[in-house]
A and B are shown apart, each in its own frame.
Chain A
Amino acid sequence: MLSTIHRTSKQLLSLSCRRSPALRAPTSSSFLSTLALLEQRDGQLNPGSLSALTAAKSLGGRVHGFVAGRSVSSAAEEASKVDGVEQVIVVEEEIYEKGLPECYARMLVDNIKTGNYTHVVASHTAFGKGILPRVAAMLDSQQISDVTSIQDEKTFLRPIYAGNAIATVESSDAIKIITVRGTSFPSATPNAGCAAITKGTTCAKADSMSKWMSEDLANSDRPDLAAASKVVSGGRGLKSKDEFNRLITPLADALGAAIGASRAAVDSGYADNSLQIGQTGKVVAPRLYLAVGISGAIQHLAGMKDSKVIASINKDAEAPIFQVADVGLVGDLFQKVPELTDKLNYR
């Protein structure tokens, strides 16, 4: 097994690619060079992290992808197929598999220095939030977090105050470190690109001050909440964990949607922490966001108000959620949700 992986990675490394002339032609921003940090788990690329490549491309200039872990050749290959990516840098070592920030950040800093990058981009996920500020501090750069729009190579838009205001900031740092909001930059789709895959720099002293012990991840066949095109979200109005599961799960199944929850529902134990949508949870922007029994506190709205269509079912006609919902149904969710689920199933 191991030898197969090694052979594959060697083959990949020797793969010679024909680059498109556009990439070689000097442009006004040819000095600009961006490293996009990609997440992987067990050799699988996190599709959400491909939004870092989209953001990197929108900066103009040279784009390199970066992936590190135990066995990352297939993840690197996937990233190499994204159009406009010139190179994918891989660091294949066990110690980087779990993304422990202490060793990962040091190794990443070395690679940023070696590659003379002017920009480093990652998704604003738990992984990006753990590693990138550490990297930024080591490079003496003030990171720009959760960017939703790139105006030019040094000017970025980012939401502040739970999305109640949008700040336009200009960075004066030599190396600009940014994390981007996944829902603002669509995932780049691997296509006909053919980036070279090269080995990155690994630390001479690759120890880690912290040790990974265990993890407990919710197993689910549903679409990933952060990337789902439809989200059904339940709140305190569901009254109990049993009712949450009894009503929300079939409705989500009928729609092919991911399941989310308000903080009230999570705090009351109706749903898992990882499902929380809002300022302190996940930020989603699906095509359809259906809020069930959610009043719509500002902290919750911060996590979903960029959804394309917002629908709401709530018994309180004055609930703030109706001020942002494109479609509102005032009624008892214990009647309306099963009826909706039935009608969707018999469509």
Chain B
Amino acid sequence: MSALRILVPVKRVIDYAVKPRVNKAQTGVETAGVKHSMNPFDELSVEESVRIREKKRAPGGVEDICAVSAGPAKAADVLRTAMAMGADRAVHVELAEGEEMEPLAVAKLLRKLVEQQGSNLVLLGKQSIDDDAAQTGPMLAGLLGWPQATQACRIEFGDDDAVTVTKEVDGGVETVRARLPMVVTTDLRLNEPRYASLPNIMKAKKKKLERMSLHDLGLTNERRLKVLKVTEPPPRQGGGKVDDVDGLISRLKELGAL
């Protein structure tokens, strides 16, 4: 079995616990001064890569875990986090502050990096919690012509480069098998990501973080969608409380829900 060279794309997003606010100009959400962190699904990808190595789950071993992020200068922080969790090195594709990439452009970038880094397994989160698009993984697999398994809750490795993935689907789980090279996207139940320990955070500062631009890779940030506006969803008004079960039933009847 080939040794694994895992590419782990990570995205810096507004922290999941923060309630985002639409900006006054209605062009997006307010990001200045808002806490950001690694997209939660990407933490699962990093954790899984590290566990594959630690638990020696792949017969051919893990040769390399490379975290990659496209984003502004601060995206380096999430790459340091990934390295503190156990990634060997990182690649930062620098974008201007406020510049964003659409999933198709990210998939094209990742295709380039896969070729450059000689990766044979790409582990992505199933979606980012800002854009909620859930596209990059399958798009990358389509561009590379590689097999894909989305929403993984279990990944196993066998002989002959076989990868068996249990996926979360509507109503249950489904198991598929393919061969490396492969693209897998992670779902919540895959694992529980570790916290980076202080010594590991210190060590991560010494790990290699390579910087490049889209231009270096011969790419441009091509945009196909124009965001015309971003608005708050219509607010929902709470309807008040009732005193007892009878009150609940009669109110539900009034509202036509029973």
Contact = CB atoms under 8 A, between A and B. Distances in A.
Interface string B6-32: 000000001010011010000001000
A137 B106 CA distance: 11
Given A160-B130, A167-B227, A170-B225, A142 B102 contact: yes
A212 B176 CA distance: 5
A4 interface: no
Interface stretch (A50-58, A71-79, A195-203, A214-222): A214-222
Interface in A322-347: 322-331, 336, 339-340, 343-344, 347
B198 interface: no
B29 A162 contact: no
Contacts of A100: 176
Given A100-B176, A143-B135, A155 B228 contact: yes
B246 A209 contact: no
B19 A164 contact: yes
Which range contains the number of A residues in contact with the other chain? 35 or more
Nearest to B188: A280
A136 B187 CA distance: 22
B77 interface: no
A344 B109 CA distance: 57
B239 interface: yes
Given A130-B150, A272-B172, A317-B241, 6 more contacts: A143-B103, A146-B134, A161-B130, A173-B224, A215-B173, A299-B16
B181 to A, nearest CB: 10
Contacts of A135: 142
Most buried by B among A328, A343, A344: A328
Given A160-B132, A168-B229, A274-B170, A134 B252 contact: no
Given A163-B233, A168-B227, A309-B255, A213 B177 contact: yes
Interface string B225-250: 11111111100101111111111110
A171 B135 contact: no
Contact of A145 (B129, B135, B149, B243): B135
Interface string A162-186: 1111111111110000000000000
B219 interface: no
A316 to B, nearest CB: 12
Nearest to A125: B170
Contacts of B70: none
Nearest to B131: A160
Contacts of B224: 141-142, 171-173
Interface of B: 14, 16, 19-20, 22, 29, 102-104, 107, 129-143, 146-151, 153, 164, 167-179, 187-189, 224-233, 236, 238-249, 251-252, 255-258
Contacts of A313: 248
A274 B147 CA distance: 24
A241 interface: no
Most buried by B among A98, A209, A313: A209
A210 B176 contact: yes
Contacts of B134: 129, 133, 145-146
Contacts of B232: 164-166
Interface in A100-147: 100-102, 105, 125-127, 129-138, 140-146
The B interface is mostly helix, strand or loop, or mixed, namely: mixed
A170 B255 CA distance: 37
Nearest to B222: A142
Contact of B257 (A224, A273, A308): A308
* 4 A-B pairs with the lowest CB-CB distances in the bound complex, closest first: A217-B172, A142-B224, A326-B239, A134-B142
Interface of A: 98, 100-102, 105, 125-127, 129-138, 140-146, 155, 159-173, 209-218, 224, 226, 230, 255, 263, 272-274, 279-280, 282, 287-288, 298-299, 305, 308-311, 313, 317, 322-331, 336, 339-340, 343-344, 347
Contact of A136 (B139, B231, B255): B139
Contact of B169 (A126, A159, A309, A326): A126
Nearest to B41: A280
B73 to A, nearest CB: 23
A209 B19 contact: no
A265 B19 CA distance: 22
Contact of B139 (A134, A272, A344): A134
A102 B20 contact: no
B175 A165 contact: no
B132 A279 contact: yes
B247 A329 contact: yes
B183 to A, nearest CB: 10
B238 A137 contact: no
Nearest to A327: B251
B177 A142 contact: no
Contacts of A168: 227-231
B251 A216 contact: no
A165 B225 CA distance: 17
A216 B168 CA distance: 10
B135 to A, nearest CB: 4
Given A311-B252, A329-B244, A274 B172 contact: yes
A310 B246 CA distance: 17
B141 A170 contact: no
A210 B148 contact: yes
Contact of A273 (B104, B147, B189): B189
B225 A215 contact: no
